[in-house]
């Protein structure tokens, strides 16, 4: 097996000796003085020195996980079995303890849904082919989906946001109907900094929210009009991510409360339909970005039929812990999702989506830092528990993370912080670190302090309109109140990555990667993990939000429980 070959190659039996070479040096120090009720202190300025041996270990991890043998690490596939076994064996070899009682894995019940590939969508007088013109799928656990002569309504951005005094559904009854909407949110389109959060996408701009809100409104079908700039990716990403097998968690009602059709329209398709309806797409798009927009019936009918092949199975989250010496019930967590898109058949050939950068690079980073932090703990034990995790089904909607967040091994109030790696800079080192989201939590201050100790600055997300803060596993934990931070360099140092490799078959491991960025970022992340694990610091949410409210409620409940005990 691959994992056995790996163990032989790097000699896990003597891996601690290798890991010990990952030395930590103190560059600057600041006093740590914080309490659970006060503001968090600044972190001390420690960076890790990542050696050539550590980068060799990293290469072994990333090249193995991104190899064809792992078949693109698709959930519920042979690739999952290889991946989960690889992770479990690696954590066992390091002497880490299981995170889920006596198990390193957490079962995640999923439905594997594959829609028929020959579907066609009729909108008014036009019929469009699936894949090139539109995509459609469902998360309902049903054999067949039938949309017949459904009224179509253009609902702008499909947003109901009371705090922004915005409701695209005001006075509108969409029960059983089809809604067409724009991607992103009005702030991006208008460039008005006072509208939503201006150019920075809010959660209201995410497709996940749009489907959720349409379901709450009673719509039967949703079609989001794709445009590359506000979406943050091209049509190829939409097609690859929605035309093949998808996964979903399953509720007690077989997901029947969700929308029946989760769809996207190619921009050309949308323009054709709007023109047929006597509407100007560009004009309506502009109007939809201004306050007071009213939804518009398009006076066309939608019809669509497709069947689903459904398989019920369990995927696996993987996590291991290094128990803390004095506060073992307080966990500092480091994570990267293990899954990618698996493989598919196209034109009679098998296409494997190896996902080397997204996200074998992140998983390799977690494994490498687990090695180093275990070695460090043998010299001086950490006060708090460290958790190292890899969840399933991130690519299909953060499903593994959502299951973990709602079924945690410890109360979320006891989770100190969740640091998430999703796509590392495998190229040369840079003089900055990217920050996703602004003004969310005090972890951003820790990031700035750690970067400064390396002589680096913090650079805000250059593409805030893409809403990356809401698009990776940490977001599921943030929704449960856990302060979270995303480390991502997805294409930042490679201008061709998003267009040519992201969610495509060309996201492969390359021996030519310099790993300069990996070296500096792992040092910074290792710094933050060490600091959080050896202090009484409790990161806090800064901005008023659902995250902050959830944390306050959880903390109050935990304190009350502790008082009773």
Q: Which residues are paired to 197 by β-bridges?
A: none
For the residues 236-251, what does the mean pLDDT come to? 88
CA atoms within 13 A on the CB side of 214: 31
**Count of other CB atoms within 10 angstroms of residue 297:** 12
Lowest mean pLDDT among 144-158, 426-440, 488-502: 488-502
Question: Helix, strand, or coil here: 298?
Answer: strand
User: Is there a contact between 399 and 110 (Cβ–Cβ < 8 Å)?
Assistant: yes
% the chain with pLDDT above 90: 76
Alpha carbon distance 137, 147 (integer Å) = 12
The tokens describing 80, both together, are 């999952």
Backbone φ, ψ for residue 487 (5° rounding): -110, 115
pLDDT for the residue 45:
56
Confidence at 267, pLDDT banded by 50, 70, 90: very high
Q: Which residues are paired to 419 by β-bridges?
A: 334, 485
User: Is there a contact between 153 and 298 (Cβ–Cβ < 8 Å)?
Assistant: yes
Alpha carbon distance 100, 408 (integer Å) = 9
pLDDT for the residue 35:
32
Confidence at 559, pLDDT banded by 50, 70, 90: confident
> Which of the two residues, 499 and 143, has the higher pLDDT score?
143
In this predicted structure, the answer to whether residue 18 has a pLDDT above a threshold of 80 is no
Q: Using N-to-C axis directions, what is the helix angle for 516-533 and 52-65, rounded to 10°?
A: 100
pLDDT for the residue 348:
85
The tokens describing 202, both together, are 């809010």
Q: What is the pLDDT of residues 65-76, one digit of tens each?
A: 999 999 999 998
Q: What is the pLDDT of residues 285-339, one digit of tens each?
A: 999 999 999 999 999 999 999 999 999 989 999 999 999 999 999 999 999 999 9
pLDDT for the residue 347:
83
pLDDT for the residue 1:
36
The tokens describing 153, both together, are 């309504």
For 89, 333, 386, the CA distances from 322, given in Å and listed in that order, are 15, 10, 5
pLDDT for the residue 13:
33
pLDDT for the residue 30:
32
pLDDT for the residue 560:
84
In this predicted structure, the answer to whether residue 40 has a pLDDT above a threshold of 50 is no
pLDDT for the residue 24:
36
> Which of the two residues, 490 and 438, has the higher pLDDT score?
438
Centroid of chain to Cα 527: 23
The torsion angle over the Cα atoms of residues 403, 409, 415 and 418, rounded to 10 degrees, is -50
Backbone φ, ψ for residue 83 (5° rounding): -65, -50
pLDDT for the residue 41:
39
Backbone φ, ψ for residue 64 (5° rounding): -70, -50
Q: What is the pLDDT of residues 423-472, one digit of tens each?
A: 999 999 999 999 999 899 999 999 999 999 999 999 999 888 888 899 99
The tokens describing 239, both together, are 């097609």
pLDDT for the residue 48:
62
In this predicted structure, the answer to whether residue 7 has a pLDDT above a threshold of 90 is no
Residue 128: which of 302, 269, 278, 279 has the closest Cα? 269
103 contacts: CB under 8 Å, gap ≥ 6: none
pLDDT for the residue 27:
35
pLDDT for the residue 17:
35
**Count of other CB atoms within 10 angstroms of residue 50:** 23
For the residues 265-281, what does the mean pLDDT come to? 97
């Amino acid at each position: 097996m691959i994992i056995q070959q790996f163990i032989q190659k790097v000699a896990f039996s003597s891996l601690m000796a290798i890991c010990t070479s990952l030395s930590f040096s103190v560059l600057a120090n600041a006093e740590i003085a914080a309490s659970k009720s006060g503001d968090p202190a600044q972190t001390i300025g420690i960076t890790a020195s990542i050696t050539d041996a550590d980068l060799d270990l990293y290469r072994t991890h990333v090249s193995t996980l991104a190899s064809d043998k792992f078949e693109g690490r698709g959930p519920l596939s042979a690739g999952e079995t290889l991946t989960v076994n690889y992770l479990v064996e690696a954590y066992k070899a390091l002497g880490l303890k299981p995170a889920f009682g006596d198990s390193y894995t957490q079962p995640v019940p999923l439905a594997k849904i594959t829609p028929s590939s020959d579907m066609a969508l009729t909108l008014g007088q036009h019929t469009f082919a699936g894949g090139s013109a539109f995509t459609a799928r469902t998360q309902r656990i049903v054999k067949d989906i039938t949309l017949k002569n459904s009224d179509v309504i253009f609902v702008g951005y499909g947003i109901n946001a009371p705090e922004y005094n915005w409701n695209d559904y005001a006075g509108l009854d969409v029960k059983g109907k089809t809604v067409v909407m724009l991607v992103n949110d009005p702030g991006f389109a208008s460039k008005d900094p006072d509208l939503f959060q201006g150019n920075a996408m809010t959660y209201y701009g995410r497709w996940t929210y749009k489907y959720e809100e349409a379901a709450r409104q009673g719509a039967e079908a949703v079609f989001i009009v794709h445009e590359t700039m506000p979406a943050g990716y091209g049509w190829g990403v939409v097609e690859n991510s929605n035309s093949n097998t998808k996964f979903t968690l399953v509720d007690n009602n077989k997901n029947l409360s969700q929308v029946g059709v989760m769809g996207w329209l190619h921009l050309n398709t949308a323009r054709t339909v709007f023109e047929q309806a006597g509407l100007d797409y560009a004009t309506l798009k502009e109007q939809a970005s201004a306050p007071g927009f009213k939804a518009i019936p398009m006076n066309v009918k939608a019809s669509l039929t497709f069947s689903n092949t459904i398989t019920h199975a369990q995927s696996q989250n993987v996590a291991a812990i290094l128990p803390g010496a004095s506060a073992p019930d307080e966990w500092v967590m480091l994570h990267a999702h293990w899954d990618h898109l698996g493989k598919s058949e196209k034109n009679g050939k098998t296409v494997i989506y190896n996902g080397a950068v997204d996200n074998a690079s992140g998983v390799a980073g977690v494994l490498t830092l687990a090695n180093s932090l275990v070695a460090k703990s043998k010299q001086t034990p950490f006060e708090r528990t460290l958790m190292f995790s890899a969840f399933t089904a991130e690519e299909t909607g953060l499903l593994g993370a959502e299951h973990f967040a709602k079924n945690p091994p410890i109360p979320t109030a006891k989770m100190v912080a969740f640091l998430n790696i999703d796509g590392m800079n495998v190229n040369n080192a840079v003089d900055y670190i990217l920050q996703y989201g602004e003004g969310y939590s005090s972890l951003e201050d820790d990031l700035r302090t750690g970067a400064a100790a390396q002589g680096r600055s913090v650079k805000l997300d250059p593409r805030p309109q893409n809403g990356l803060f809401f698009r990776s596993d940490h977001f599921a934990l943030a929704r449960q109140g856990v302060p979270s931070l995303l480390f991502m360099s997805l294409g930042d140092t490679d201008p061709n990555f998003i267009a040519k490799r992201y969610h495509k078959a060309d996201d492969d491991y390359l021996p030519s990667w310099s790993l300069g960025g990996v070296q500096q970022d792992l040092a910074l992340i290792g710094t933050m993990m060490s600091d959080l694990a050896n202090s009484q610091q409790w990161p806090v949410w800064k901005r008023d939000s659902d995250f902050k409210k959830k944390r306050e409620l959880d903390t109050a409940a935990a304190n009350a429980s502790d008082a009773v005990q």
